[in-house]
């Protein structure tokens, strides 16, 4: 069994793999004040509720964009499993050709998501990651990472709007049908935020496709809010919320010693 952990700015996502099959998934709040023991205890309790045992884990890998928590989670994993987790970064092979100005600056979440997309989908491919930030990764026909766009995340935008305007509430983003404009405050905010983000994503995808000079064959949506937004985009997207975890699993396997 393999334990894969994606440490994001908002959530810490944990997956347990039996081969290629994801058998356990949990999300914890990212909190840099918590100790390794606290994270280990909470994760152990959650796994027990799902009748999963961490003692069966034989390997682990971490992808992190929160450096303060990387060592904490690495220790928590050791407490739970006795395994020393691999950390996605320098010294770990990803197999991804990163063609940006400074490849070392590319976040672990973007690397892992790109690796999984290259492995599973037709190229060229765009990966829309809707988390704390909204990001679009660009993968060309060879599977090379060409760059990305970064903008404020949907939840961050909503929070800023509600906090800055006294008469505007926090609204749900979970709507199946979103009119182009609203006739009340909540519906108006949903139209602006949900359809505004979807339109931005559609427009950026069009511009990226034009810049690449070749048709985009696949668009993949991932991240905590991918299901809420991607369905409102005009450009069809495959929704894969566990793309980053799948990429971590693939990278872990790439760094295992050859047998025979």
> Which alpha helices (H) appear in 1-144, and where do they start and end?
36-49, 67-81, 108-120
Look at residues 87, 119, 143 and tell me which one is the last residue of a structural domain: 87
| C-beta separation of 154 from 225 below 8 A | yes
Helix (H, G, I), strand (E, B) or coil at 252: helix
Judge whether residue 128 has pLDDT over 70: yes
Residues 112 and 159 in one domain: yes
Q: What is the pLDDT of residue 24?
A: 93
Q: What is the pLDDT of residue 40?
A: 95
Burial degree of 53 (CB within 10 A; 0-12, 13-18, 19+): middle
Full domain range(s) for residue 44: 2-87
Active site residue 6: no
Judge whether residue 232 has pLDDT over 60: yes
Residues 69 and 155 in one domain: no
189: enclosing H helix or E strand: helix 185-190
| C-beta separation of 81 from 3 below 8 A | yes
Give 73-112 pLDDT, tens digit per residue.
999 999 999 999 999 998 899 999 999 999 999 999 999 9
223 in a structural domain: yes
Give 156-193 pLDDT, tens digit per residue.
888 888 888 878 888 888 888 999 999 999 999 999 99
Q: For the domain that residue 115 is a member of, what is the CATH number?
A: 3.30.420.40
Judge whether residue 213 has pLDDT over 70: yes
Look at residues 87, 119, 147 and tell me which one is the last residue of a structural domain: 87
User: Looking at per-residue confidence, does 36 or 164 come out higher?
Assistant: 36
38 in a structural domain: yes
- For range 120-130, the mean pLDDT: 97
Judge whether residue 3 has pLDDT over 60: yes
Average pLDDT, the chain: 93
Residues β-bridged to residue 125 = 139, 218
Residues 80 and 170 in one domain: no
Residues 113 and 159 in one domain: yes
pTM score above 0.75: yes
59: enclosing H helix or E strand: strand 59-64
- For range 212-231, the mean pLDDT: 94
97 in a structural domain: no
pLDDT band at 245 (very low <50, low <70, confident <90, very high): very high
| C-beta separation of 99 from 230 below 8 A | no
Judge whether residue 60 has pLDDT over 60: yes
Judge whether residue 259 has pLDDT over 70: no
- For range 189-208, the mean pLDDT: 95
pLDDT > 70 in the chain, percent: 99
Residues 184 and 214 in one domain: yes
Total structural domains in the chain? 2
Look at residues 87, 114, 131 and tell me which one is the last residue of a structural domain: 87
The residue from 18, 31, 109, 246 that is catalytic is 109
Phi (first) and psi of residue 18, to 5 degrees: -110, 100
């Amino acid at each position: 069994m393999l334990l894969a952990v994606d440490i994001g700015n908002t959530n810490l996502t944990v997956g347990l793999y039996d081969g290629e099959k994801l058998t356990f998934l949990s999300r914890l709040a990212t909190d840099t004040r918590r100790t390794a023991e606290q994270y280990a205890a909470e994760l152990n309790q959650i796994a027990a509720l799902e009748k999963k045992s961490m003692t069966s884990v034989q390997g682990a890998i971490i992808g992190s964009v929160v450096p303060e928590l990387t060592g904490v989670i690495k220790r928590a994993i050791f407490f739970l499993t006795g395994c020393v987790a691999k950390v996605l970064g320098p010294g770990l092979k990803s197999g991804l050709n990163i063609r940006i100005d400074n490849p070392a600056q590319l976040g672990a979440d973007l690397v892992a998501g790109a690796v999984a997309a290259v492995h599973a989908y037709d190229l060229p491919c765009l990966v829309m990651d809707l988390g704390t930030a909204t990001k679009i990764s660009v993968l060309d026909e060879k599977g090379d990472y060409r760059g990305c766009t970064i903008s404020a995340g949907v939840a961050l935008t909503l929070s800023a709007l509600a906090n800055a305007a006294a008469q505007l509430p926090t609204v749900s983003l979970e709507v199946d049908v979103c009119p182009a404009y609203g006739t009340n405050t909540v519906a108006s905010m949903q139209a602006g935020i949900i359809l505004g983000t979807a339109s931005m994503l559609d427009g950026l995808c069009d511009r990226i496709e034009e810049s690449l000079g070749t048709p985009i064959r696949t668009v993949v949506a991932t991240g905590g809010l991918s299901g809420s937004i991607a369905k409102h985009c005009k450009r069809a997207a495959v929704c894969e919320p566990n793309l980053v975890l799948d990429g971590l699993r693939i990278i872990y396997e790439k760094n295992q010693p050859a047998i025979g």
